[in-house]
Amino acid sequence: MIKIASDNGQVMSTNLSRSDAIYASLRRAILEQALKPGTKLPEDSIGDTFGVSRTSARNALLRLASDGLVEIKPNRGAAVAMPTLEEAEEVFALRRCLEREVIGRLCKRMPRDGIDALISHVREEERALQASSPRSIRLAGEFHILLAELTGSKLLIDFISQIVSRSSLILARFGRPHSAECGIDEHVQLIEALKNLDAETAMRIMDHHLHAVEDRAKVDEKDDGPDITEILSRYISISD
């Protein structure tokens, strides 16, 4: 019986299987760019780090693979996914499509406390940014997941989560070092447009925002310096 803070901040208390904890920790580590694209993730090292067997580590890796965060080649092991530029364009093209859908729905029906939730999330983004916390990278993406959650559609939340994760990975691979810092202003503008149920403006801002993110991703590449066990030791904690 472990307590863990799930992605959306809700605390669910459940008899969590071991692989869930590993999955969550690895996911955070990847999204916060502590584990960079291309880093090898051998089952043994991960199992040792988290104090479980290879099987649990493996299950976590399989789930991360279905999220597109790691790539598993048969008999050749797992590594943090290295999206290509071509894949990057696919991701952002589809992301624009889905985020427009989100905005369209929210302008038709915004839940009661929706705007408040968005505002308080942006405040947290600002705090994390000022503290130069690696959380800020992840929070920037989770703003978009929060938007999806306000639509109430589980499937849409799922798809947006997947695509935001991949976007983060793309930024980790191609973006500038602290590439998450720019978007907060646009988040604020977007909230304003949503408050006025102004779909037109909101979509324009969103398009601009996503293009900005995408452009940031088209700079030069960075090289890798993997020493997993050291990095992961900071991520085996349970809560945020």
Which of 74, 76, 220, 223 is in the footprint of a copy of itself by CB under 8 A? 74
Structure tokens at 101: 């859908």
Cα distance between residue 94 and residue 88, in whole Å: 10
97 contact, one of DNA, a copy of itself, none, CB 5-8 Å limit per kind: a copy of itself
- Contact letters (x/-) for a copy of itself, 53-72, by CB under 8 A? ------x--xx--x------
Q: Nearest 5°: CA angle at 90, between 77 and 94?
A: 115
Residue 135, judged by CB atoms within 10 A of its CB (0-12, 13-18, 19+), counts as buried
CB count within 10 Å of CB 25 equals 21
Residue 154 or 234: which CB sits closer to a copy of itself?
A: 154
Identify the three-state secondary structure at position 14: strand
* Residue at 29: amino acid letter: A
Q: Which stretch binds a copy of itself (CB under 8 A): 130-138, 158-166, 197-205, 222-230?
A: 158-166
Which of 6, 17, 84, 120 is in the footprint of DNA by CB under 7 A? 17
- Contact letters (x/-) for DNA, 49-78, by CB under 7 A? ---xxxxx-xx------------x-xxxxx
Identify the three-state secondary structure at position 93: helix
Residues that bind a copy of itself (CB under 8 A): 14-15, 17, 59, 62-63, 66, 74-75, 87, 90-91, 93-94, 97-98, 101, 153-156, 159, 163, 166
